[in-house]
Chains A and B, each alone.
Chain A
Amino acid sequence: MNTIDRAGDEQRPDDGGRVGAQSATATFGAGEPLALDSGISLSPFTVAYETYGTLNADKSNVILICHALTLDQYAASAHPVTGKAGWWPYMVGPGRPIDTDRFFVICPNVVGGCMGTTGPRDLDPATGKPYGLEFPVITIGDMVRAQAMLLDRLGIGDIFCVVGGSMGGMQVLQWAAAYPDRVFSAIPIATAARHSAQNIAFHEVGRQAIMADPEWKQGAYLTEGTTPAKGLAVARMAAHITYLSETALHRKFGRNLQDRETVTYGFDADFQIESYLRHQGSTFVDRFDANSYLYLTRAMDYFDLADDFGGVLANAFRNTKARFCVVSFTSDWLFPTSDSRQIVHALNAVAANVSFVEIRTDKGHDAFLLDEPEMFATLRGFVDSAARTRGLGA
């Protein structure tokens, strides 16, 4: 979910090699299957992850970053396909709110993803062919369970802080609910405890675009040697609109024409916004798997945290000892402030330690990835004070 992979967009700071990036994978064999919410066991499976910074002696300085729908483990290191710098440059790095000089940051690719963690484009050991639609349906709970297994493998018990935006924020909430003893602090950003009907609707449009592409081949495009590029690009274009705001679109593009003085009386990309969306669509196809897009959007659609707790969201947080910092954005209409307030309300109901800020911005849902100084001020204060309480020093 990033607007920042567009050429000429906001200048991104690049901390280069100073974050101490390490790429790694952890493979779980037949003896350690991932027990999915669907009842299916996924085995074997691999989790690909990046780490930044250094784990301290008592393993108490771990920050877990949960990524959003179309992002990956490359939060602060270059993307291997696009070569672009990490997707959370303002948040993660030396001296940044998630300070890689002080914390050991882990960012895993989610299960069902397509950047190294097992997903639908990997080989199904039963058939020797790519899973495609044979891949089991994944939930947010499954993603978090796989992350917990990764931390177990690394010998890490507690997480000092779990943080993420959008689908990443859903994982943060799931972490707090499923592993209340392992989470010291939690930062759910621009997210919800359940996916709204409107959001499910947008996802369905995207999925139908992919499935309508004849190249999709009922999900078997890898075996058939085709690529549903058009369908995936349209899915991305539609979704991308939801990540922005009308104000931001107007400010950036207005009704400006693309490289021409007048309209062409045709269906070429006359308007800059059309050209921009087409670019978003075509570049996305290079780095993302269409079936992964189906599975991950489904995981978000299925997310309803209260549902696992008798329909009462507060019950999800009844055992939490974590301190929370919930963040929303005024112009985010995909995950509006009311979604965040529901989370805050539930946390208040169980007397949890919760802070909440609504950041004033016109950049829409994508604001969490962009340069939002107020958000960084809030999160820096939250992380630093939590670190003091945890005895992690300044």
Chain B
Amino acid sequence: MSHGNGYSTGRVDLDLIAQMIATGSRVLDVGCGDGELLELLTRKKNVDGRGVELSQEGVNACVARGLSVVQGDADTDLADYPDDAFDYVILSQTIQATRNPREVLRAMKRIGRHVVVSFPNFGHWRVRLQLLFSGRMPETPSLGHSWYDTPNIHLCTLLDFTSLCDELGLAIEDAVIVTGDTARRVSRPGTIANLIAGDAVFLLSRHDARAL
């Protein structure tokens, strides 16, 4: 699981995620890549951070940064973490590459009091137009894989994602959509947001969770 399969041009979502995380909290970054976000959160938010990363290179880079990262797979290894182990569990630009996004989200909800997810929006108008006019699977500069070799096997739209959250009992505390370099906060993403968002970042919590 590494970063960078997303639709965004920079990593504007990293800053957005950092804004959603309370200072001094305990954080698990699932698919933490080379540890860029964890390091940012450690530096700016003084978090007690942990990571899970599939690739050897990613784990090595993280360990060299002094981060505590376990080589593992979001689909199978979240089971190893106890309930309520973290204040936040983050899945940044990774959900679309998991085999079973629903189970991954369910595990994250169990492990963390809050869940943060960022992902590329497959409902963006450009994606829709590509399919409509070319009749071929959409490819964009950041989703630049052919259909047969893409790691992004579970792409979804904003509306798909929010309906899955509803089903899993995850309440939307905060949502930010990213269009180009512009980020805007939306209370609950609707049809328009689903057209214009390149990426989205969600802060979720259990319906039954008390406020921090």
- Chain A residues with a Cβ under 8 A of chain B: 323, 325, 341, 344-345, 348-349, 351, 353-360, 374, 377-378, 380-382, 384-386, 388-389
**Apart from A351-B26, A351-B48, A382-B63, 17 more pairs, CB < 8 Å:** A323-B68, A344-B80, A345-B80, A348-B50, A348-B82, A348-B85, A354-B50, A355-B69, A356-B72, A357-B56, A358-B71, A360-B56, A374-B60, A381-B60, A381-B63, A382-B64, A386-B66
Quote the shortest CB–CB distance from A201 to chain B (angstroms): 28
On whether the beta carbons of B62 and A355 are closer than 8 Å, the reply is yes
- Judged by a CB distance under 8 angstroms, whether B147 is at the interface is no
Interface CB pairs A-B, < 8 A, 6: A341-B77, A348-B50, A349-B82, A355-B70, A381-B65, A385-B63
Instruction: Scan residues 55-95 of chain B and give those whose CB is less than 8 A from a CB of chain A.
Output: 56, 59-72, 77, 80-82, 85
CB distance from B143 to the nearest CB of A (A): 28
Give 7 nearest A-B pairs by CB, closest first.
A381-B64, A385-B66, A356-B70, A353-B68, A381-B63, A345-B80, A357-B71
C-alpha gap A249/B59 in the complex (Å): 29
Given B63, B68, B82, which contacts A378 in the complex, CB threshold below 8 Å?
B63
| Cα separation A385 to B26 with both chains bound (whole Å) | 20
Q: A385–B64 contact, CB under 8 A?
A: yes
Complex CA distance for A329 and B81, rounded to whole angstroms:
22
Report the minimum CB–CB distance from A308 to chain B (whole Å). 21
Complex contact B80–A385 (CB within 8 A): no
Chain A residues, Cβ within 8 Å of B64: 377, 380-382, 384-385
Complex: how many Å from CA A344 to CA B70?
8
A residues less than 8 Å from B82 (CB atoms) = 348-349
Nearest A residue (CB) for B72: A356
Name, among A341, A353, A381, A389, the residue most crowded by chain B CB atoms within 10 Å (CB to CB): A381
How far, in whole Å, are A380 and B72 apart by their CA atoms in the complex?
20
Distance in angstroms from B179 CB to nearest chain A CB is 37
CB pair A374 B70 closer than 8 Å: no
Which chain B residues lie closer than 8 Å to A348 at the CB level?
50, 70, 80-82, 85
Residues in B whose Cβ lies below 8 Å from that of A355? 59, 62-63, 67-70
Q: From the candidates A341, A377, A386, name the one contacting B80 in the complex (CB within 8 A).
A: A341
B: number of interface residues (CB 8 Å):
23
- The minimal Cβ–Cβ distance linking B59 to chain A, given in whole angstroms, is 5
Assembled-state Cα–Cα distance A349/B80 (Å) = 8
Q: How far is the CA of A173 from the CA of B11 in the complex (A)?
A: 39
Across the interface, which residues of B come within 8 angstroms of A360, CB to CB?
A: 56
Q: Is the pair A354, B68 in contact by a Cβ cutoff of 8 Å?
A: yes
CB neighbours of A377 from chain B (8 A): 60, 64
Q: State whether B60 touches A357 (Cβ < 8 A).
A: yes
Instruction: Establish whether residues A378 and B59, one from each chain, have CB atoms under 8 Å apart when the complex forms.
Output: yes
Asked if residues B85 and A389 are in contact (CB atoms below 8 Å), the reply is no
Which residues of A have CB within 8 Å of B65? 381, 385
Nearest chain A CB to B60 CB, angstrom units: 5
Tell me which residues across on chain A come within 8 A of B68, comparing CB atoms.
323, 353-355
Complex Cα spacing A353 to B28, Å: 12
Distance of A351 Cα from B77 Cα, bound (Å): 16
Please indicate the chain B residues that have their CB under 8 angstroms from the CB of A359 in the complex.
56
CA distance A358 to B56 in the complex (A): 8
How many Å from the CB of B139 to the closest CB on chain A?
Answer: 31
CB distance from B110 to the nearest CB of A (A): 14
A384 and B67 alpha carbons, distance in the complex (Å): 12
- Interface residue ranges of B161-209 to A (CB < 8 Å): none
A344, A380, A388: the one contacting B66 at CB < 8 Å is: A388
Minimum distance in angstroms from A338 CB to a CB of chain B: 11
Whole-angstrom CA separation of A360 from B85 in the bound complex: 29
Tell me, rounded to whole Å, the shortest Cβ–Cβ distance linking A188 to chain B. 14
Q: Are A325 and B71 in contact (CB under 8 A)?
A: no
- In the complex, chain B residues whose CB is within 8 Å of the CB of A349: 82, 85
CA distance A386 to B56 in the complex (A): 19
A328 to chain B: closest residue by CB = B71
Q: B126-148: contact bitstring with A at CB < 8 Å (1 yes, 0 no)?
A: 00000000000000000000000
User: Chain B residues near A341 (CB, 8 Å)?
Assistant: 77, 80
Collect the chain B residues with CB atoms within 8 Å of residue A381's CB: 60-61, 63-65
- A323-B65 Cα distance, complex, nearest whole Å: 13
Closest approach, in angstroms, between the C-beta of A91 and any C-beta of chain B? 16
Kindly list chain A residues whose C-beta atoms are within 8 Å of the C-beta of B56: 357, 359-360, 374
- Closest Cβ of chain B to A358, distance in Å, is 5
Q: Which residue of B lies closest to A358 (CB)?
A: B71
Distance between B150 CB and nearest chain A CB, rounded to angstroms:
24
Q: Which residues from chain A contact B80 at a C-beta distance below 8 Å?
A: 341, 344-345, 348
Contacts of B50 in A (CB 8 A): 348, 353-354
Cα distance A377–B71 in the bound complex, in angstroms: 14
Which single member of B48, B67, B71, B81 contacts A356 (CB below 8 Å)? B71
